[in-house]
Amino acid sequence: MTARTDAIDLFHTRFGGEPLGTWSAPGRANLIGEHTDYNDGFVLPFAIQHRTYVALGRRDDGVLRVASTFDDEVIEVAVGNIPSLFPAGRDSVAEWARYPLGVAWALVHASGRDAATLAGADLAFSSDVPVGAGLSSSAAIESATAVALTEVWGLDLDRVALAQAGRRAENEAVGAPTGIMDQMASMLGRTDAAIFLDCRSLEADVIDLGFAEAGLELVVIDTGVSHSHATGGYGDRRASCERGAQALGVVALRDVTVADLERAAGLLDDETFRRVRHIVTENDRVQATVRALRGKGPAAIGDLLIASHASMRDDFEISVPELDTAVDAALSAGAIGARMTGGGFGGAAIALVPHESVNAVQDAATAAFAASGFAAPTIFTVAPAAGAARD
Ligand code: GAF
């Protein structure tokens, strides 16, 4: 609970008085289904125990003030003036603050309420979600803000609408062209379960994971290689997928099946074909993983995780040597499956590891990084946890 206490302490220091309460939301690990969300496809993420907390106090002057333990600055803006901060003035606001302020703005839009009628608020944030690890610290701050402001403003919005507000903040206030997976995982997470999400209909099923009963642990190997989805590779991959869908005459790559790939190979250039093949086979693997979890349990999904990583490394080309090293080391030390998780170009790998092999995986990854001259990775276990809520 330290991050929660830190948020309350920060509220005292920056704003004075007592907050009304704290709200929090988790980061996520994605078990399988990478870059499929913005292709209208399938994903299987789960919320993790690491959370972002916001201590919130009401104000009666229609002003929002945001402060965080990541930065010394307190940013102040009238609710109705938030749009003036972005996108044109994006660089004038600290990046972390664009997440909560972007969510506030997206909530006003989604609710149809007149900003002038909404109360102001002081929000103090603290988090124990590792930043830059591909565990979606951004969705955690968005979802914590969304549940807190929705309650304080009395908005009639469901959890899917709150996830959409988070995504809108990320796309339009931060400028990262991301999909809906991370926000849905953070809003809908359940203890010991993953969320099987159809990113076209936004229908979500809760899938029991049962790692502990199967004697398995989910180990995160954070490479420390930082990445940003607002620049570079993420947007390039998204553009390739859109080009592929257009050339194949479908609304989104969700509409292409494995059986269509032979025809696709004749219509697309080699690079676009490999991007398309990743999405099509990854959608297939997500559905196969759900079937395996329902039928046989988590010990049966290892090969699907391994195939997912190979597809991201060879076809989608979003892995980096540190991630490949982490995956190979984990597998060589007894993991039953391993893959990079999240958007790629850095961040973390996950490994599904028998309880008795966790130390061996940790030692093997640390040794492999040292042998390759990489900075030491940060290694920890995560457990599937509950979604955003008032604490
Ligand atoms: C990032 C994005 F935010 C998600 O929407 C998703 O596309 C993911 O990368 C890749 O699966 O986390």
Q: Report the distance separating Cα 315 and Cα 308, nearest Å.
A: 10
Interatomic CA distance for residues 56 and 391, integer angstroms = 12
Domain shared by 117 and 266, yes or no: no
229 lines ligand 1 (CB under 6 A): yes
Answer yes or no: do 125 and 157 share one domain.
yes
With a 6 Å cutoff on the Cβ, whether 278 touches ligand 1 is no
> Among 28, 34, 35, 195, which residue has the most ligand 1 atoms within 8 Å of its CB, making it the best to mutate?
35
Query: Would residue 304 count as lying in a domain?
Result: yes
Rounded average pLDDT over 359-373: 98
Query: Which residue minimizes the CA distance to atom 2 of ligand 1?
Result: 178
Q: Please state, as a whole number, how many other Cβ atoms lie within 10 Å of the Cβ of residue 66.
A: 27
251 shares a domain with 183: no
- Angstrom distance (rounded) from CA 335 to CA 154: 47
Q: Is the pLDDT of residue 88 over 60?
A: no
DSSP characters over 76-132: EEEGGGGGGGSSTTGGGS-HHHHHHHHHHHHHHHHHT--GGGS-EEEEEEEE-SPTT
Distance 120 CA to ligand 1 centre (A): 32
Structure tokens at 184: 């849905």
Which burial class, exposed, middle or buried, applies to 262 when counting CB atoms under 10 A from its CB (0-12, 13-18, 19+)?
Answer: exposed
Q: Give the type of residue at 205.
A: D
Mean of all residue pLDDT scores within the chain: 96
Residues 237 and 178 in one domain: no
Domain-terminating residue out of 206, 229, 258: 206
Q: What is the mean pLDDT of residues 189-197?
A: 98
Q: If pLDDT is split at 50, 70 and 90, which confidence band does 87 have?
A: low
Give the pLDDT score at 34: 98
Instruction: Give pLDDT tens digits for 211-226.
Output: 999 999 999 999 999 8
Please tell me whether residue 380 adopts helix, strand or coil conformation.
strand
- Residue 189 confidence (pLDDT): 98
Query: 227: domain range?
Result: 209-382
Q: Which residues have a Cβ under 8 Å from the Cβ of 162 and sit 6 or more positions away?
A: 107, 143, 146, 147, 150, 183, 187, 388
Q: Which residues are catalytic?
A: 182
Say if residues 290 and 198 touch (Cβ distance below 8 Å). Answer: no
- pLDDT value at residue 284: 98
- The domain boundary, picked from 162, 184, 206, lies at 206
DSSP three-state, residue 148: helix
pLDDT, tens digit, 9 for 90 and up, residues 200-214: 999 999 999 999 999
What is each CA distance from 305 to 14, 32, 170, 288, 321, in whole angstroms? 45, 7, 28, 11, 18
ipTM of the complex: 0.99
Residues 141 and 236 in one domain: no
SS (H, E, C) 2-57: HHHHHHHHHHHHHHCCCCCEEEEEEEEEECCCCCCHHHCCEECEEEEEEEEEEEEE
- Atom number of ligand 1 nearest to Cα 179: 5
231 and 197 belong to one structural domain: no
Contact between 28 and 189 under an 8 Å Cβ cutoff? The reply is yes
Domain shared by 38 and 148, yes or no? yes
Percentage, residues of the chain above pLDDT 70: 97
- 355 close to 216: Cβ distance less than 8 angstroms: yes
d(CA 174, CA 141): 13
Residue 376 has pLDDT above 80, yes or no: yes
We report the CATH number of the domain holding residue 32 as: 3.30.230.10
Pocket test for ligand 1, best of 30, 44, 137, 182 (most atoms within 8 A of CB): 182
* Cα–Cα distance, 250 to 269 (Å, whole number): 17
Q: What length does the chain have?
A: 391
0.90 cut: is pTM over it?
yes
Q: Which two tokens stand for residue 380?
A: 């920890």
Q: Is residue 133 part of a domain?
A: yes
Atom in ligand 1 nearest the alpha carbon of residue 134: 12
In the prediction, which pLDDT does 83 show?
81
Total of domains in the chain: 2
Same structural domain, 279 and 198: no
pLDDT digits (tens, 9 = 90+) for 320-351: 999 999 999 999 999 999 999 999 999 999 99
**Percent of the residues in the chain that have a pLDDT greater than 90, as a whole number:** 92
Taking alpha carbons only, the member of 124, 149, 104 closest to residue 52 is 124
Q: Are 276 and 352 in a shared domain?
A: yes
